[in-house]
Structure 1
Amino acid sequence: MTRALRADAARNRSLLLAAAAAEFASRGVDASVADIARRAGVGKGTVFRHFPTKDDLLAAVVLDRVDSLAVLALDLHVASDAGAALFEFLTAAADKQQQLDFSFLRDAGEINDRLASARERLFAAIIALVERAQAAGAIRRDISGMDVILLMCAPAHVVSFVPDAPPELWRRYLGLIFDGLRPEGAHPLGPAGV
């Protein structure tokens, strides 16, 4: 395969992932391959050369997002300011969720099995960020890694209930989460449920 063909295939894959993300976000798992191909500016055959089934395409979209968050978390693990690194990660995660609402995954049961190892890598990277921020005194000691994992979805989820929400409203709720994670003025939490 020549370099130009490989570059063309990589470009088509990238276009397909972006188009699929947009279609799945707006139509859920019922998005059609034809609509995804049209949005990407390619034929249906190109979709199936890259992704044999629609489930493969859906899994690739989600894995792409999960993997990019895991890479970011790992990159931030070496930042000099552990608290700022955790907050930067949470901001990026909330922003990515704003771009692609993962709620459609509730209806996509079988691809969740493919996500298990990617999710484990992401969760381990987040827990490492949390532990590092705690060791630096940047966040409260009674916060668990799972608390942060669950909270990272909250800003976009909360805003989804606000009709005609301004595009940046999620940042307000992310700020409230940041304040809740900081040790200053913290009140004891109830027992951990997870």
Structure 2
Amino acid sequence: MTPPVRPLRSDAARNRESLLSAAEDEFAERGPEASVADIARRAGVAKGTVFRHFATKEELIAAVVARYVTELRDVARRLLSSAEPGAALLEFLTVAADQRQQRDLTFVMSASAEDPFVQHLRDELHAGVVALVDRARDCGAVRQDITGTDVFVLICAPVHAVEYLSDPPPDLWRRYLALIFDGLRPEGAHPLPQPPPNWP
């Protein structure tokens, strides 16, 4: 359940959004070594302003992840009304991979894994992905042995594939997304060697 949020004054709301954007950039560039002072400097606010919004660095990390997951959840929900389920699933995976390519938040995604609100949002995102996959499978756009959890764990795969290269072209992740999506199609599919994973 989403915790109650007190309305913020317009200036406070702007500061919070600025802090979240600055934190995304700092974590993407520096990983877990990013400091609250650096985040405050990038956002153009005093360090004390950070702690007025987020009591700890861990709380700030959870807020960054919550915003990212919420965006993806909303995309999944919007695409559920698409008339073409296969195209909708591909669009979702493209949006997800593109966001990951723009802001690699691998460490923060795992760092906030125990936060109850982040867990709740991840469950909502997972439910949206399951619904997209169910629709695509029902219309024959993806193979019958693919589950929503299978696709959920592949969301970040196109970006991780190019991380092994020293200087990949900006859109190279699209090549690997195309390979992944071809693997989801029923044409030429072979039986998978293991059963699908369970969602926690």
Specify if TM > 0.5.
yes
Cα distance change of structure 1 residues 107 and 74 upon mapping to structure 2, 3 Å threshold: closer
User: Letter of the aligned partner of 2:77 in structure 1?
Assistant: L
Call closer, same or farther: CA 1:122–1:106 in 2, change over 3 Å. Answer: closer
In structure 2, what is the equivalent of residue 113 of structure 1?
114
Q: Secondary structure at the match of 2:113?
A: helix
Map 1:134-153 onto structure 2 (within 5 A).
134-153=137-156
Pair 133,157 (structure 1): closer, same or farther in 2 beyond 3 Å? same
What does 1:127-166 align with in structure 2 at a 5 Å threshold? 127-166=130-169
- 1:23 correspondence with 2:26: yes
Structure 1 position 105, deviation (Å): 3.5
Mind listing any 5+ residue stretches in structure 1 that lack a counterpart?
none
What is the percent sequence identity of the aligned residues? 58
- TM-superposed CA distance for 1:56, in Å, is 0.8
Which of the two has greater helix per residue? 1
**68, 74, 91: which one pairs with 2:71?**
68
Task: Give the distance between the partners of 1:175 and 1:162, measured in 2 at CA.
Answer: 18
Which of 47, 55, 63 is 2:58 aligned to?
Answer: 55
What does the per-residue CA deviation read over 1:90-134, in whole Å, with 9 as the maximum and x for residues that have no partner?
Answer: 0011111112223213772xx312121111111111001100111
Q: Partner of 1:188 in structure 2? A: 191
TM-score normalised according to structure 1 size: 0.91
Provide Cα deviations, 1:59-82, integer angstroms capped at 9, x if missing partner: 000010011111110111111111
Segment drifting more, 9-18 vs 123-132 = 9-18
- Asked whether the equivalents of residues 126 and 145 of structure 1 are also in contact (C-alpha less than 8 Å), the reply is yes
Per-residue CA deviation, residues 26-52 of structure 1 (Å, 9 max, x unaligned), is 111221111101111111122111111
Q: Is the 8 A contact 2:85 2:132 kept in 1?
A: yes
Matched, 1:90 2:69: no
Q: How far is the alpha carbon of 1:193 from its aligned partner? A: 4.9
Separation in 1, partners of 2:86, 2:49? 44
Moved over 4 A (4+): none
Distance 1:168 1:8 in 2: 37
- Structure 1 letter corresponding to 2:72: L
Moved more, 111-120 or 159-168: 111-120
SS in 2 for 1:152: coil
Listed as ranges, the gaps of 5+ residues in structure 2 are 1-7
SS of residue in 2 equivalent to 1:112 = coil
Q: Which residue of 1 aligns with 2:3?
A: none
TM-score by length of 2: 0.89
Question: Which secondary structure does the structure 1 equivalent of 2:190 belong to?
Answer: coil
Contact kept? 1:29, 1:107, Cα under 8 Å: no
